[in-house]
Amino acid sequence: MISAVCSSIFSSYRFDPTATVVTTPLVVVLALRAGVCQDFAHVVIGPASTQTLSVSVDVARFS
């Protein structure tokens, strides 16, 4: 299931760093079909969290 969602994002969404901000809700990302990596992670986590899967996100910060 995760592979299918990732493939769908790759083919249906566009990377656009000006489309969203940190606080952009998932529904907006879904409507725009555009965003950045964190937005696409939210698109994947949404359906995955409804399954019997344990979902976690690790964020690495580089300074």
Q: Report pLDDT digits (tens) over 15-58.
A: 999 999 999 998 999 999 999 999 998 888 876 666 655 555 55
pTM of structure: 0.67
Q: Is residue 58 part of a domain?
A: no
- Residue-range definition of the domain harbouring residue 37: 2-49
pLDDT tier at 62, thresholds 50, 70, 90 = very low
Going by the DSSP 8-state scheme, the letter that residue 22 receives in this structure is T
Q: Is residue 28 part of a domain?
A: yes
What's the structural domain count of the chain? 1
User: Would you state the pLDDT for residue 63?
Assistant: 42
Per the listing, tokens 């529904």 go with 27
- Better-predicted residue by pLDDT, 4 or 35: 35
Distance, CA of 17 to CA of 37 (rounded, Å)? 9
- CA dist 17 to 40, 47, 54, 55, Å? 12, 23, 29, 25
Going by the DSSP 8-state scheme, the letter that residue 54 receives in this structure is -
**At residue 61, does pLDDT exceed 60?**
no
